[in-house]
Structure 1
Amino acid sequence: STSARACYVKLYNVGNKVSTRNCSGFLQSCISYYLQNIHISPRRLWLCLPCETRATQGAAKARALRSRGMGGSGRLASGRAPSPVLTGYESDNPEWEVEITKEGRQFALDLCRFVSTEISHGDRGDGDFDNDCVVHSAPDKRSAATIEHLSFVCSVQETSLLRPLHYGDLSQMQPDEAEAEFADVLHARALDTLNFRYPGAGGESYLDVIQRLEPLIVELERQKRDIVVVASEEVAQCIYGYFTCAEREDIPKITLEKHCIYELRPGPFNTDVEVIAPRSFF
């Protein structure tokens, strides 16, 4: 348009050149900044959950037992929807020791071996051999244990943007204590997992996590190197949902298995996903 008031962002070859005109508002600036960082160069993003601990192992068993107790109705005998088992609480309390299970320690080792093998081969499908890789991780004990070996072969960037969803008043409680004292709160969350925000200082919802991750998403889009992201379940669901174009309401329903690597290959039109069990890779 030749109009002096025309406002636009123009991309040349998806990131080679960006031209903006009359972009002065907040939303316009955000869109312009985002478009300046996207590209379609082949790269891989390896997404995984932190290694298993005794606490998360017990929480998973409790979840399985309750699921069997519900039968096929999806509801408890009282008619209530089941409250979620808290799995990230131990990351909120620095005084608690994190005891990694044998399987968790093995996964940390397998993750390092897998990434080392992949970056040493270096072929990402475009004939470009680049053995550089960066790891993004939360500054908590579970994540640190997961990348303990990987930190020797890749550069690590710890960021609080990847911290687990904060449970507010429930963050300092064991899962069984939370279910006993805050049954109504957990019931309300089960009815609207996406929008529910935990009560108390620092309490978050999935929508809060999505908003918190916006700067990191731009960084992941900007990177042309292979990336490893170690994140708690709720955070990983949001990242996975973004790259796979999941509906926002479906993000809490995304199932991510422990001790598996989700290889995401963003492309011009969609993202290819491959689920890798490191033990079967070798």
Structure 2
Amino acid sequence: MGDLPHDENPDMGAIGHDGTLDADNPSTAEIAANSPRYRRKSSTFIDGIHDVSEDAYMAPAQLYSTMSGRLFHSGRIAIVMVGLPARGKTHISVSMARYLQWLGVKTRIFHLGDYRRATVGGGGEVPEDYFYPNASPSSVMLRQKILKKCREDIYAWLNHENGQVAIYDAVNPTASGRRSLAKEFAKHDVQTLFLESYVDDEKLLRENARNVKIGSPDFADMDPDEAARLYLKRIERKIPVFETMNEKELNYIKMINAGEKLFYNNISFNYLSHRIVFYLTNTHINSRATFFVRAGSATDEESYRADAPLSEAGWGYAKLMADTLTKHREQERAESIARGGPDIPLRPLTIWCSTRLRALQTADAFEDYGYKVRQRSQMSQINPGVCEKLSERAIRRLYPEEVEKHELDPYHHRYPRAESYHDLAVRLEPIILELEREQNDLLIIAHESVLRVLYAYLMHVGTMEIPKLKFPRNEIIEIIPAAYQNEAKRIHIPGLDPRMVPGSPEDIRIPVPGSGSDLPSFPGGGLGSPPEPVVVVDKPPERVVNTSADAVKDKLGDED
């Protein structure tokens, strides 16, 4: 995948009373909540959902911009999460932030657990009665200190950084506390939308606890089911009072059992609230993998309009790819059982492909395994317009001004009668919502331009990096959703002819810094030249996850 440029100004300080940054007095938000801006400093294989967004570029699917940076005439909104631990609040928060940021809505998540850890220090514990309604005076003071700091950072971001949606991720267990919170936000001219994740399905509770929490050292070498039971008992002991949402005067949405049912109350206050509800009707918190793979090579690789069939090499690639993915999924299941996971059948695999003949024929290789293939017309590759079949030299000669514009902004620029990557992202929005709704493992077979956009959504890649993302044919890319961030993995396809790996010309010769290029993505960037043949060496799958493990480790023991 393409690498992100290093941040030129990584030191963010606290916001002073005059609205300026105080670099000598970093806030808890910058230390704890926003430290993940360093995560994808060197690789787009690390999910950037928690990165501090830069204001220089529009979001991938953003349709317009405003002076204030706020969209849809919706003002400022605080989405307040409600629910006990292991109910999927953080997962929902991250998923919702991903979708809103994709649309261009300035959204940031404020995890109260980050503030608690920053206040009590590394390895510190809150008092036993910290969550009790009748807590001791010292515990009440500690709780108020943590809450005050978190809310100050929310207001600072909304007021001084033109933020629009602040997601407040905490338990918020009592009705009185929620009413007070709504009144406080109203004083700051912030609309409040409560979102409760309510789970009474014991099987789902145990699965959530097992998937999210038992990585803690407290449960090391313990049977996963027993660890989940102990963890849920710990929640009952530490948070003895929880009142589900029933406040008629508040704006709230209640998700029951990870989207099985959805209730809402008083949420018709603006367009953005309706978009949030619409998104929540298409999401869930069940774990499943998404795989990305290129279509095989065709007999006529350079034509956009000719719907050419697979070449002989393309058929061979399709068979190798299908065998590799099938073996990988079976191996992952065996490893999960060996680690103490449940001995259950493989999760069903759904296959999506475009309506192009080469994609359909690539998917045919899975028929022997009994998988169904669904065609998606929106997943057709980017339209090159007048650039079809033209060499880069010819494009430079015929359209020098267009080439210059394209090099400045390869994401938004379109050649005559062509599509831009932004056009493609807007076209793919129904696919993104279907992707969120899908509960089976999902394999997407498409042209590299389509894979770039869908991968960018799931891994929060910026617009200037999307045209440079690389999907060589000798790799399957797997994305695994997790509560705090998504994880990515490369799965090598062994035995391919090295000439197959570079594959078809990038975007039918549209002169954009291509998959084989390490050129800059804006001013100074040049045309990507065809990559050299790759020497294929058999190697095991490489797992590429967030190496800044502290934040993820912290979430494992999070009781907020």
Q: TM-score, normalised by structure 1?
A: 0.74
| Number of the residue aligned with 1:52 | 297
State the match for 2:263 in structure 1: 19
Question: Are 1:105 and 2:315 an aligned pair?
Answer: yes
126-135 or 137-146, larger mean C-alpha shift = 126-135
Identify if the C-alpha distance between structure 1 residues 22 and 205 changes in structure 2 by more than 3 Å, giving closer, same or farther.
farther
Equivalent residue, structure 2, for 1:36? 281
Give the secondary structure class of the aligned counterpart of 2:487: strand
Task: Name structure 2 gaps, 5 residues minimum.
Answer: 1-178, 180-246, 495-537, 542-560
Shift of the alpha carbon at 1:17? 4.0
Letter in 2 for 1:248: T
Alignment of 1:36-185 (within 5 A): 36-53=281-298, 56=301, 90=303, 92-94=304-306, 97-98=308-309, 100=311, 102=313, 104-118=314-328, 123=333, 125=336, 127=342, 128-152=344-368, 153-171=370-388, 173-175=389-391, 178-185=395-402
Question: What is the CA–CA distance in structure 2 between the aligned matches of 1:150 and 1:105, rounded to whole Å?
Answer: 12
Distance in 2 between residues matched to 1:248 and 1:22, nearest whole Å: 35
Q: Helix, strand or coil for the counterpart of 1:33?
A: helix
Which structure has the greater CA radius of gyration? 2
Q: Find the counterpart in structure 2 of residue 218 from structure 1.
A: 433
**Of residues 408, 419, 424 in structure 2, which corresponds to 1:191?**
408
Residues 186/145 of structure 1: CA separation in 2 closer, same or farther (3 Å cut): farther
Query: Cα offset for 1:139?
Result: 0.7
Unpaired runs of 5+ residues, structure 1, are 57-88
Question: Could you tell me which residue of structure 2 aligns to residue 83 of structure 1?
Answer: none
Asked if structure 2 preserves the Cα contact closer than 8 Å seen for 1:48 and 1:229, the reply is yes
Cross-structure match for 2:483: 268
| Structure 2 residue identity aligned to 1:41 | N
Q: How far is 1:7 from its partner? A: 3.6
The equivalent of 2:72 in structure 1 is none
**Distance change (3 Å), C-alpha of 1:162 and 1:175:** farther
How has the CA–CA distance of structure 1 residues 54 and 121 changed in structure 2, closer, same or farther, with 3 Å as cutoff?
same
Q: For residue 249 of structure 1, what is the aligned residue in structure 2?
A: 464
The higher-RCO structure (CA 8 Å, 6+ apart) is 1
Cα 1:274–1:51 change in 2 (3 A) is same
My pick for the range that moved more, 7-16 or 249-258, is 7-16
Q: Shift in Å at residue 101 of structure 1?
A: 5.7
Alpha-carbon RMSD: 2.9
Return the alpha-carbon distance in structure 2 between the equivalents of residues 131 and 106 of structure 1: 26
Larger mean CA deviation between 15-24 and 225-234 belongs to 15-24
Could you tell me how far 1:261 is from its partner in structure 2?
0.3
What is the CA-CA distance between 1:20 and the residue it aligns to?
2.0
The separation in 2 between residues aligned to 1:179 and 1:97, in whole angstroms, is 27
1:109 is aligned with what amino acid? K
Structure 1, 266-275 or 28-37: larger mean CA deviation: 28-37
CA distance in 2, matches of 1:233, 1:186: 21
What's the secondary structure of 1:157's corresponding residue? strand
Query: 1:77 maps to what in 2?
Result: none
Q: Secondary structure at the match of 2:464?
A: helix
Deviation at 1:242, TM superposition (A): 1.3
Query: 2:298–2:308: 8 Å Cα contact kept in structure 1?
Result: no
Count of residues in correspondence between the two structures: 243
Q: Secondary structure at the match of 1:211?
A: helix
Shift of 1:119: 5.3
Percent identity between matched residues is 22
| CA positional deviation for 1:264 | 0.9
1:66-86 Cα distance to aligned partner (Å, 9 max, x none): xxxxxxxxxxxxxxxxxxxxx
Question: SS at the partner of 2:284?
Answer: coil
The corresponding residue for 2:453 is 238
* Range moving further from structure 2, 140-149 or 237-246: 140-149
Counterparts of 2:256 and 2:462 in 1: how far apart (Å)?
29
Map Cα deviations across residues 3-54 of structure 1 (whole Å, 9 max, x no partner): 74x5443435543443322344543332212112222322111101112346
Aligned equivalents of 1:215, 1:204: Cα separation in 2: 18
CA contact (8 A) 1:119 1:133 kept: no
Cα pair distance change 1:175/1:53, threshold 3 Å = farther
Q: Is the partner of 2:296 in helix, strand or coil?
A: coil
TM-score when normalising by structure 2: 0.39
Which residue in 2 is equivalent to 1:85?
none
In the alignment, residue 349 of structure 2 is paired with which amino acid?
Answer: C
Taking a change above 3 Å as real, the CA distance of residues 183 and 272 of structure 1, as seen in their structure-2 partners, is same
